[in-house]
Amino acid sequence: MNSPDAQPFTPAVTEHNRRLHSRYTVQVQIELRQEGSDVPMRLETTDLSRSGCYIQLMIPLSVGIRVRGAFWLDGYPVHVRGLVVTRHPQFGNGIMFVEFEGEGEQLLKRYLDAITT
């Protein structure tokens, strides 16, 4: 039974559910460079959210490595700085976006909003 003062239920962020934003299964071409390196890795995301992405790599990067990334959404470049936060041997990495250049964050939000409607 609900009382008039009842607050809406908000799920707690747990170890198993740490994401602040929903992720979407979408393949986007991305070019990553480890910070301090000019050697590009041309990859594809397996999923994408407002706060990061997952990439497949046979030899994944180590957790904690900082990366710079560039990807195109609807013809516009999005440049990000990120941090490798998960590593799955022979499969890939989770990358958390820590900084966007210019209007990159708004472009990503607009892109994700458009694919969910």
Cβ proximity of 31 and 40 under 8 Å: yes
Measure Cα distances from 43 to 11, 53, 71, 104 in Å: 34, 11, 10, 19
Tell me the pLDDT tens digit for each residue of 21-37: 788 999 999 999 999 99
- State the pLDDT confidence band at 7, using cuts at 50, 70 and 90: very low
The full set of domains in the chain, from first to last, is 23-115 (2.40.10.220)
The verdict on pTM exceeding 0.85 is no
Mean pLDDT of the chain: 85
89: phi then psi, degrees, rounded to nearest 5: -50, 135
Q: Is the pLDDT of residue 72 over 70?
A: yes
pLDDT number for residue 18:
57
